[in-house]
Amino acid sequence: MLIGKKILLVEDDQFIRELYEIYLKEDGYIVVGAENGQEGVDRFKAEFFDLVLLDILLPEKDGITVLAEIQAINNKIPVVMLTNLAQQSMVTKAFELGAAGYLLKARINRKDLLKEVKGFVEQPMDVKSVTSIASS
């Protein structure tokens, strides 16, 4: 458990956002939710985060646009894209823009989510790694 680590969770699906918030908070993380891309950028500008979990398909600003804006503000904070299987070309674009990794929402469970998040918040800030639950 990494008490006090702060995560920005940008996800428009209320069920998924609330479920991930529960999982992460139960493990000691501080979670700030945003339900659209613009809100995610605004929250990122206003607060410090140790990690960003960012959905690709969002209202107002898509995840690729949000990623580019976040990277322009601070490219040392790892951003992990949340995606579905049909969005592989967007994942490739996200990596080109500096995403640290991605998680397939359809295949993620509590244990895997916490393992992946822990790996990203514990790694040195200037080291980016590529990860996926796809092979699980």
Q: Report how far residue 45's alpha carbon sits from residue 107's, in angstroms, rounded to the nearest whole number.
A: 31
Statement: residue 128 has pLDDT above 80? no
Q: Report how far residue 123's alpha carbon sits from residue 65's, in angstroms, rounded to the nearest whole number.
A: 25
Measured between alpha carbons, how far is residue 6 from residues 31, 62, 75 in Å?
A: 6, 22, 16
Q: What's the pTM value of the predicted model, to 2 decimals?
A: 0.86
What is the arithmetic mean of pLDDT over 6-35? Answer: 96
Which pLDDT band holds residue 108 (cuts at 50, 70, 90)? confident
Question: pLDDT, tens digit, for every residue of 53-103?
Answer: 999 999 999 999 999 999 999 999 999 999 886 677 888 899 999 999 989
Residue 80 pairs in a beta bridge with 53, 101
Going along the chain from its start, the domains and CATH numbers come out as 6-122 (3.40.50.2300)
Q: Report how far residue 32's alpha carbon sits from residue 50's, in angstroms, rounded to the nearest whole number.
A: 11
